[in-house]
Amino acid sequence: MSEHHVMPLKTYFKVAGGLVLLTILTVVFHEMKMGALAGPVAFLIAAVKASLVLLYFMHLKYDNMTNRVIFGSGFFFLILLFAFSYVDIWTRIKSFSTL
Amino acid sequence: MGTASTNPNVNYLTEFSGIKSWLFSLDHKRIGLMYMIAILFFFLVGGIMAMLIRLELFSPGPTLFSADTYNQVLTYHGAIMVFMVIVPGIPAILGNFFLPLQIGAADVAFPRLNLASWYVFMFGAILAFTTLFTTKIDTGWTFYTPYSIKTGTAVITIVLAAFIMGMSSILTGLNFIVTTHKLRAPGMSMFDMPLFVWSLYSTAIIQVIATPVLGITLLLLVAERVLGIGIFDPKLGGDPVLFQHFFWFYSHPAVYIMILPAMGIISELISAFSRKTIFGYKAIAFSSLGIAAVSFIVWGHHMFVSGQSEIAGVIFSFITMLVGVPTAIKMFNWLATLYKGSVSFESPMLYALGFLFLFAIGGVTGIMLATLGVDVHFHDTYFVVAHFHYVMVGGTLMAIMGGFYYWFPKMFGKMYNEGLARLTFVLIFIGFNVTFFPQFILGAMGMPRRYFDYIPAYESLNKISTIGSWMIAAGFFLALYVIIRGIISGPKAPANPWGAKTLEWQTSSPPPHFNFDKKPTVTGGPYDY
């Protein structure tokens, strides 16, 4: 484990502000009724928010490479789950699809 | 906790006494035994349910109970055996007990977390039991939507119970990964570890990565029922098939949580009772990791007829075939280990050989079912029931029995009656085949699974299957007698009754509180015969 890193309080507030802004952005995009893009955009914003929490609040930015790889592998498997599920949903015969 | 004795002959069983010394014990061996007692009880209940199912199917029409009761008993059997017996079985009992011993450590990396895992597991299990036996659960162990959203039964509580037990599984997996990396004896590299440790390590990776997905899926199901959020409900724009994707993303790797540690045990047994270095050590170790990796991308083979797209079906069918490669690597390496070995047929080895035979049938029929065109016909028939019982019971349970007889002298410091132990194998092995082989034929004849009733054409094979289940039950009750008699009045076991080479046999039987009087230094491999 790398040395304990003390972050200035200002950084925490900046990140918290960013998270609030992104939440507002999620609501704005929802109101815009973007159709098929709505899901991917919401996922993208959620992923950015999760990354900010991991990097700053959980100090992953200042952690050693092993821990980053472990976190990364979690995301990799999440992408696998989404990718294969989407392969199914997008290639279904549309008249039978519920989506 | 009691006071430690200064007597050099004391061991982990006698060093402390009183119920508190067990309930608050941080000793991985005692925690392993506490898991054992709990899981044996769950196994007994799940087994009784299995006997009731087979009795009901002894003849067509209502035999013992109504169709509704049959659905519930079927759910009890599946949920108890999967979530409370086979998934936690090997890692929680034998893994807890032997992982630190096999790597020369005094305990797991986080002993308090280990005890917490047991309490979390027991809390989840008690909640599940209370729900199962006080309300009506008829969803099967898979909780498929849309039925699980609509049925009026206590789905929320049973799902929360599964969620809590999943949390315990994650904590155990985390503990094992850290223990394996950080607490190996001096001189023990990753490639000096016994293969049972490798298999537990691979299993732990699956536990940590896949189980959270099950947790989230089950919580989404609760949210769907309570809040109507519309993820799985088509009326709200949701997709019921998506539930199956999420569910099987965990539950297929869970099959490997069940079988990988079993394979680890088999590696130990085959090497020890062939008096020979394991053939292809690295190939077996890497094939465990290979199985763990591939297990994450094959879940769609459970969904070939669910409404999943044909393209997804073809992709999943192809990838599923890949599981056969690392699995076959293991099988061939075990057979090569037996070749020209000084093979002896003590009861643990009989179970290991039984595993090879039954798992080969389970594996090959798995490849048949992975073939998209074949599965469309076999899906939801007794062929599938026979297949997964050959893997889970013929594979995992055989390995548990073999491993238990192998390590019994180390766990309790006593020997058991070898003749009776061999008889348990004969009863269980023959009974198992009499029970489940006819089910392959029934499935091929078209008998659907989960049904309460059947046409007269299926009657004779169902009768044979039920009679087989009585033989299995007799075998397990005899095994219980052998174990209890061994603990009470068995002769004292030496430190290394099998002449095995792994570290757990280098300490006394049973081991002292901190496993080794002096920290061992490793200078050779685990199978240097």
Please spell the DSSP secondary structure of B159-207, one letter per residue.
Answer: HHHHHHHHHHHHHHHHHHHHHHHH-PPTT--GGGS-HHHHHHHHHHHHH
Would an 8 Å CB–CB cutoff place A38 in contact with chain B?
A: no
Domain ranges of chain B: 27-506
Q: Which of A84, A88, A97 is the best residue to mutate to test the B interface, defined by the most B CB atoms within 10 Å of its own CB? A: A88
Residue A93: which pLDDT band, with cuts at 50, 70 and 90? low
- Mean pLDDT calculated for residue range B438-463: 95
The letter for the amino acid at B45 is V
Residue A96: which pLDDT band, with cuts at 50, 70 and 90? low
Q: How far apart are CA A40 and CA B1, in angstroms?
A: 55
Chain B partners within 8 Å of A50 (Cβ): none
Q: What would the pLDDT profile of B459-499 be if each residue is shown by its tens digit? A: 999 999 999 999 999 999 999 999 999 999 999 999 999 99
* Cα angle value B204/B104/B349 (rounded, 5°): 70
C-alpha dist (Å) from residue B132 to B48, B136, B140: 14, 7, 11
Would an 8 Å CB–CB cutoff place B296 in contact with chain A?
A: yes
- Mean pLDDT calculated for residue range B311-323: 93
- Mean pLDDT calculated for residue range B442-462: 95
Q: What would the pLDDT profile of B230-253 be if each residue is shown by its tens digit? A: 888 888 888 889 999 999 998 898
Residue B1: which pLDDT band, with cuts at 50, 70 and 90? very low
Measured in residues, chain B has a length of 529
Helix, strand, or coil (residue B524): coil
Per the CB < 8 Å rule, is A84 touching B209?
no
Q: Is-contact A54 A67, C-beta < 8 A?
A: no
Give the pair of three-digit tokens for residue B221.
Answer: 């199901």
List phi, psi (to 5°) of B381: -110, 175
% of chain B residues with pLDDT over 70: 98
Neighbours of A65 (CB within 10 A): 9
Q: What would the pLDDT profile of B150-170 be if each residue is shown by its tens digit? A: 887 788 888 889 889 999 999
- The ipTM of this complex is 0.74
Per the CB < 8 Å rule, is B245 touching A88?
yes
Question: Measured on CA atoms in the order B87, B93, B97, B98, is the torsion positive or negative?
Answer: negative
Number of CB pairs, chain A paired with chain B, less than 8 A apart: 52
* Cα angle value B306/B312/B315 (rounded, 5°): 125
The letter for the amino acid at A14 is K
Nearest to B516 by CA among B185, B32, B91: B185
Q: How far apart are CA A70 and CA A76, in angstroms?
A: 10
**Predicted local confidence at residue A64, as pLDDT:** 81
Q: Is-contact B84 B40, C-beta < 8 A?
A: no
Q: Shortest Cα distance from B209 to chain A (angstroms)?
A: 6
Is residue B110 exposed (0-12), middle (13-18) or buried (19+ Cβ within 10 Å)?
A: middle
Helices and strands per DSSP (H, E), number in chain B = 18, 0
Q: How far is CA A45 from the centre of its chain?
A: 6
Q: What would the pLDDT profile of B378-424 be if each residue is shown by its tens digit? A: 999 999 999 999 999 999 999 999 999 999 999 999 999 999 999 99
- Between B209, B213, B300, which is nearest A88 by CB? B300
% of chain B residues with pLDDT over 90: 73
Nearest to B97 by CA among B167, B162, B171, B12: B12
Per the CB < 8 Å rule, is B297 touching A91?
no
- Mean pLDDT calculated for residue range B342-368: 96
Give me the helices (H) in B393-417, please.
398-412
Would an 8 Å CB–CB cutoff place A64 in contact with chain B?
A: no
Residue A1: which pLDDT band, with cuts at 50, 70 and 90? very low
The CATH number of the structural domain formed by B27-506 is 1.20.210.10
